[in-house]
Amino acid sequence: MTTLDTQTTDRYRTRVADRPALVERVEPTVHGGVDAPGLLGRDELAAHDRDGFVTVPELLTASEVATYSAELDRLATDPTVRADERTVVEKSSQQVRSIFEVHRISEAVAALVADERVAGRARQILGSDVYVHQSRINYKPGFGGGGFYWHSDFETWHAEDGMPAPRAVSTSIALTENFTHNGCLMIMPGSHRTFVSCVGETPAEHYRESLREQEIGTPDPDSLTTLADRHGIAMLTGPAGSATLFDSNCMHGSGSNITPYSRSNIFVVFNSVENALVEPFAAPAPRPSYIAAREFTPV
């Protein structure tokens, strides 16, 4: 494991001050450089470097979408899965909101995670071997699937999981059509280059609340307004089978879904093996390993 560059990790101090700060990121976004060999072309890597995200219009075939959709339905209705601590239900209903560590629960999802079309693109962006930091299904069911307020994943993973630097990438794979109206992912393009520190100490076992509705670790309105004015807001729509890869520090969120049409996505977070977790930077104790893996074997 590389020695930690404390000058880097100290840059991302959060939840310790009484006022937020905007810190410019020092790490590159595409660690392997925009000419890195792999499935993403140079233009796509350049777009990812510029915006903090890149879309893949057809990651899965129609038959694969059908296979994984059936798997998601099976998991959501399996009583043992529903009773599992890795399953989070909506605040407003007993509908399944998320299932974490789904690549260890489902063999089909495990194969998808290891697929070159998924893990290979993450290696290309991160410029190293990768391991799964977190996987989850977000169901966002129709008629009330809850949203996710603005946040940087890296801010949470740094503060609560001990992720040293923003050298991780999420792959969101749509299994239902993601429309503007049913709670699609919203990202501020380019916001990944600014780290927004948050105010408010992390409570013990914060994840029991934050995975249902996050309050601590969410940026203040002034910082959000500054970033939105600077970058705008992109709506990541796309058909079932499409995917979005986005940098761990993108400012992103998604609205609630009051339409009849669920917005069900599989999310896999790959972390560089050179960025393995240490102790949390701003929390009393690490989160459970089903939310933040503590075993770093490369995919």
| Contacts to ligand 6CS by CB under 6 A | 134, 136, 148, 151, 153, 156, 210, 214, 291
Whichever of 64 and 182 has its CB closer to Fe ion, that residue is 182
Whichever of 138 and 272 has its CB closer to ligand 6CS, that residue is 138
Separation CA 59–CA 39 (nearest Å):
11
Q: How far is the CB of 120 from ligand 6CS (least distance, A)?
A: 22
Any idea how long the chain is? 299
Q: How far is the CB of 24 from ligand 6CS (least distance, A)?
A: 23
Instruction: Report helix, strand or coil for 209.
Output: helix
What's the one-letter identity of residue 42? R
Who's near 286: CB < 8 A, 6+ residues apart?
160, 161, 162, 277, 279, 280, 292, 294
Give the pairing of strands 265-272 and 130-138. antiparallel
Who's near 206: CB < 8 A, 6+ residues apart?
160, 216, 217, 283, 287
Whichever of 34 and 168 has its CB closer to ligand 6CS, that residue is 168
Question: Which one of ligand 6CS, Fe ion, none is in contact with 214 (Cβ closer than 5 to 8 A by kind)?
Answer: ligand 6CS
Whichever of 163 and 273 has its CB closer to ligand 6CS, that residue is 163
Q: Are 48 and 40 in contact (CB under 8 A)?
A: yes
Q: How far is the CB of 201 from Fe ion (least distance, A)?
A: 21
Chain residue at closest Cβ approach to Fe ion = 153
List residues binding Fe ion (CB under 5 A).
Answer: 153
Q: How far is the CB of 223 from ligand 6CS (least distance, A)?
A: 17
